[in-house]
Structure 1
Amino acid sequence: MIKVSVLYPNSDSATFDMDYYLNTHLPLVAELVGEALLSGHADKGLAGGAPGEAPAYIAMGHLTFDSVESFQQSFGPHQGAILADLANFTNTHPTVQISEIKQ
């Protein structure tokens, strides 16, 4: 099983509409990729590791799939629509990481 993490970097000028992300963007992604998506959730950055330190990421989204191939096949045809929606909730440029889930 793999996890696709979308990391939205924090900065003084970063904006992120968590309500839109949770109620519009993630449901859009789920609808477009269909049954290939096993689960998804979001994290809101609160703080860094040191007292008073800002979080490195303003938000993170995590999606799980059976495999990299499953993700690529389901996401690829809809990449344009999904990426176009970013401007509706953030002004950041996210980093994507695909990880193998170990238990």
Structure 2
Amino acid sequence: MIAIQGSILLFLALVGCETGRPKFADAPRIGMFRVSVLYPNGEGKTFDFEYYEKKHMPMVASFLGENLTLYEVEKGVLGRTSGEKPSFLAIGYFYIDDINEYNKAIAQNRDTIINDFNNYTNIQPIIQISQIRKVVHNDAKRTKNEN
């Protein structure tokens, strides 16, 4: 019975996968846009990661709706060398398909977003919107890790 259940679980894990590897339909792709929200490090700067991850980013993501493919949160840990502080305490990324839809959603919710800053930081973020031009996956590394 346990062997049958294990076989069923293995089969279900592989369904929809090519050669046993999951497909990442939500992965960044060429032509997509990435909105980077950078929080510079510095003397007296504060940042509440728990609030940012659990409240702020999901709130903004909900405003973006179906235009949003995925979002990420990064915590800066080091600068260029092991003893150097990171340039940014945190970076948030939103991967979107349509800049106009993004701008519309942000404009409609601007006050709510800005008023929420005080709940997690005293940093004025830097915003940059970039178009993804190339995406490369290291298949050699994936194959090596699977063996």
TM range (shorter): over 0.9
The aligned counterpart of 1:56 is 87
- Matching of residues 22-101 of structure 1 within 5 Å: 22-101=53-132
Q: Mind listing any 5+ residue stretches in structure 2 that lack a counterpart? A: 1-31, 135-147
Question: Displacement of 1:58 after TM fit?
Answer: 0.3
- Matching of residues 6-17 of structure 1 within 5 Å: 6-17=37-48
Identity over aligned pairs, percent: 38
Separation in structure 2 between the aligned mates of residue 86 and residue 69 of structure 1, nearest angstrom: 23
- Structure with the higher fraction of residues in strand conformation: 1
User: What letter corresponds to residue 74 of structure 1 in structure 2?
Assistant: A
User: What letter corresponds to residue 118 of structure 2 in structure 1?
Assistant: A
Separation in structure 2 between the aligned mates of residue 37 and residue 81 of structure 1, nearest angstrom: 18
Are the aligned partners of 2:67 and 2:98 in contact in 1 as well (CA < 8 Å)?
A: no
Shift >6 Å, 4+ stretches: none
Q: Work out which of the two has the higher radius of gyration on C-alpha atoms and give 1 or 2.
A: 2
Secondary structure in structure 1 of the residue aligned to 2:71: strand
Output the aligned Cα RMSD: 1.0
TM-score normalised by L of structure 1 = 0.94
Question: Displacement of 1:54 after TM fit?
Answer: 0.4
TM-score normalised by L of structure 2 = 0.67
Q: Mind listing any 5+ residue stretches in structure 1 that lack a counterpart? A: none
Separation in structure 2 between the aligned mates of residue 70 and residue 101 of structure 1, nearest angstrom: 17
Secondary structure in structure 2 of the residue aligned to 1:38: strand
